[in-house]
Structure 1
C-alpha cells in the first residue's frame, strides 16, 4: 500500500507514533524505564485485554503459585512490555554507538562464532522476551543476519520500522516461500538467521506441542531448515537490566530441536523458550495468546473457562 492510498487518519497516526519514537530515542534508557514504571500500572489497570490475557497465561503456566504472586508478576510483565514499546525508538533511531553502549554484556557469543568457524549457519530463536529489537540490532551489527518480516497494520509505519531493523545490515525477507528460500540460502552461506519461536503460525504450518505442559500450536519451519542445512540452533534474548541497559544471552537450544519429527522438534523449541523465560519470567510478553488455537480446536483443556477471552 502506498502512502497515497493510506487513509489520512492512518497517516496522521503513523506520523504521531514516529515522532514519539524519535523523541524517546534521544532519552537515556534509564529515563524510559522510569516512565514505564509510571505507565505500566496504568496499562494493568485500564488495558483489560492485556491484563486478562496475561493473567490467564500466568494461571496456566504457574498453576501452583499463589494468586497474589501471579498478580504481581502480571503487573511486572506489563511494565516490561511498556518499556519495550518505549524503547523502540532507542533500538531503531538512536545513534548506533548509543545503542551499542546500552548493551552491557554479551553471554554465549562463542556459540555463534564456533558454528560459523565450522562452516555452519546459526538459527537464532528469538522469543518475545526483554527487548528483541535490541537483540536484532546487535546480531545485525556483528553478523550477516536475515530475518522474516511482516509489514505492520499501520501502513505508514512500514518504511520506518523496516529502516530501523535494516539499518545495521539486517536483511528482511517476506513470510512466504520466497522468504523461506532466502533463509535457506543465508544458512548455506554460514550466516545467522532469526526466527520467532513463540508466534502462532497459520493452520497447516505447525503442530501442537507442549508449552509449560499445555499444548500450543507451534511452527514447524525449524526442522525443515535444520534438515537441509545442518545449522546450529541457539536461543537469543536481550535481557533488560532495569534502568541500566541490556545483556545479550545466547543459550544452547534443547537438543530435541534437531529432530526430524515435527512434533519432537516443536517440543524442543518450546522447551528452549521456557529456558530463556527462566532468566526473568517478568520479561516475557505474556499478553500474547499462545493457547488460542488449542481453544479453537476444542481440545478439552481443564479449566477451559479460564480461556473465555481467547
Structure 2
C-alpha cells in the first residue's frame, strides 16, 4: 500500500468514524427521518443501486405491477440507508440504550430449547433490517461466534471490531481457521452466526433456487450441521420505524438438515425468503444476488445473456 493510499484511508476512516459517533447520539426517530429524506434521493440519483434493486425485484416479484416494484425499491433503499445511519447507534451508543431499543423478541425459545438439548445453534442472519442490532442482542444473551471479514478501509477495522465485540462476541476469519472456530463453538453448545445470502467464491457453493431463480449459495451450513448436529434458526432484527427493533427467530426449513448440498442450500434460501416475508422493504435488495450464473459455471460463451445486471 502506498503512502498516499494509506493517508487517504486514514482520512476516510477518521471522517466515517466521526460521522458514526455523531449519529450515535441521535434518536432512532431522528435517524429514521433522515433516512426518509436520503433514501428517495439515493433511488433517484444513484443509478447503480436503483438498477440492481429494481432488477432483483423484477425477478422475485414478476407479477407485481412495475409502479409497485419501484415504490418497493425506494422503500428498500430508505431502509438500507437507515441501517447505515444506525451503525453508530449499534456500535457506539451505551449498551443499555441499545438494549432498550429492542422492544420485542420473538422465538427465543428456539435457541433456548436447542441448548437445553445439548445442541449448538446456527443462526442464519440475512441482510434484513439491522443485522448489527441482531449481533448486539445475540452476543449479549448467548456465547456467540461469527465470521468477520475486515473492511476495505483498513483503519476502520478496530472501530468495527470493537463495536461488534463489545458485548462478548467472538469474531473469527472467513477461512478454514474460522470454520474450525465455529465447529468448536457449536460443540460447546454455543450460538454461531453465518450470512446465508452472500455469494461465495467459486468452489464454495452450489446453485439453488432463490425465488425460483438459481442463485449461487454457500455450502458451509451442511458441513457444520453434519459434524455437530446443531439446530438451525433464522434471525433478524426488524426495524420498527422510529420506535426500535423487534428480534425474530424463525424455525429453519427442514431441508437445511439434509446432507445433500443442493437440497440444504435450497432450504437455506427458503429460510431467507421466510425472513424477507416479514417486510420485503427491509431486505437489502441492492446486493447482486444473481451475479454468478449456471451458464457461466458451465463455460457457456453466451452466459452474459443469462445475467440480469
What's the TM-score once normalised by structure 2's chain length? 0.96
Q: Give the corresponding residue for 2:97.
A: 98
Q: Within the alignment, does 1:255 sit opposite 2:249 as a pair?
A: no
Distance 1:168 1:54, change over 3 A: same
Q: How does 1:132-151 map to 2 (within 5 A)?
A: 132-151=131-150
Q: Within the alignment, does 1:121 sit opposite 2:120 as a pair?
A: yes
Q: Give the corresponding residue for 1:43.
A: 42
Contact in 1 for aligned 2:293/2:306 (Cα 8 Å) = no
Contact in 2 for aligned 1:116/1:190 (Cα 8 Å) = yes
Aligned pair count?
306
Contact in 2 for aligned 1:295/1:307 (Cα 8 Å) = no
CA drift of 1:294 comes to 1.1
CA drift of 1:46 comes to 1.1
CA distance, structure 2, for counterparts of residue 55 and residue 295 of structure 1: 22
Q: Give the corresponding residue for 1:131.
A: 130
CA distance, structure 2, for counterparts of residue 29 and residue 127 of structure 1: 22
CA drift of 1:307 comes to 4.0
CA distance, structure 2, for counterparts of residue 271 and residue 102 of structure 1: 29
Q: Give the corresponding residue for 1:34.
A: 33
Contact in 2 for aligned 1:129/1:277 (Cα 8 Å) = yes
Contact in 2 for aligned 1:22/1:93 (Cα 8 Å) = yes
Contact in 2 for aligned 1:108/1:249 (Cα 8 Å) = yes
CA distance, structure 2, for counterparts of residue 220 and residue 268 of structure 1: 11
RMSD between aligned alpha carbons?
Answer: 1.8
CA distance, structure 1, for counterparts of residue 306 and residue 286 of structure 2: 14
Partner of 1:27: helix, strand, or coil? coil
CA distance, structure 2, for counterparts of residue 119 and residue 32 of structure 1: 41
Contact in 1 for aligned 2:295/2:306 (Cα 8 Å) = no
Partner of 1:198: helix, strand, or coil? coil
CA distance, structure 2, for counterparts of residue 4 and residue 294 of structure 1: 39
CA drift of 1:260 comes to 0.3
Q: Within the alignment, does 1:156 sit opposite 2:155 as a pair?
A: yes
CA distance, structure 2, for counterparts of residue 96 and residue 54 of structure 1: 33
Q: How does 1:60-99 map to 2 (within 5 A)?
A: 60-99=59-98
5+ long unaligned stretches in structure 2: none
CA distance, structure 2, for counterparts of residue 231 and residue 271 of structure 1: 18
5+ long unaligned stretches in structure 1: none
Q: Give the corresponding residue for 2:23.
A: 24
CA drift of 1:47 comes to 1.1
What's the TM-score once normalised by structure 1's chain length? 0.95
CA distance, structure 1, for counterparts of residue 254 and residue 6 of structure 2: 48
Q: Deviations over 1:263-292 (max 9, x none)?
A: 000000000000000000000000000100
Q: Deviations over 1:33-60 (max 9, x none)?
A: 0000011111101111111000000000
Q: Give the corresponding residue for 1:177.
A: 176
CA drift of 1:296 comes to 6.7
Q: How does 1:158-307 map to 2 (within 5 A)?
A: 158-294=157-293, 297=296, 307=307
CA distance, structure 1, for counterparts of residue 27 and residue 162 of structure 2: 22
Contact in 2 for aligned 1:237/1:276 (Cα 8 Å) = yes
Contact in 1 for aligned 2:55/2:308 (Cα 8 Å) = no
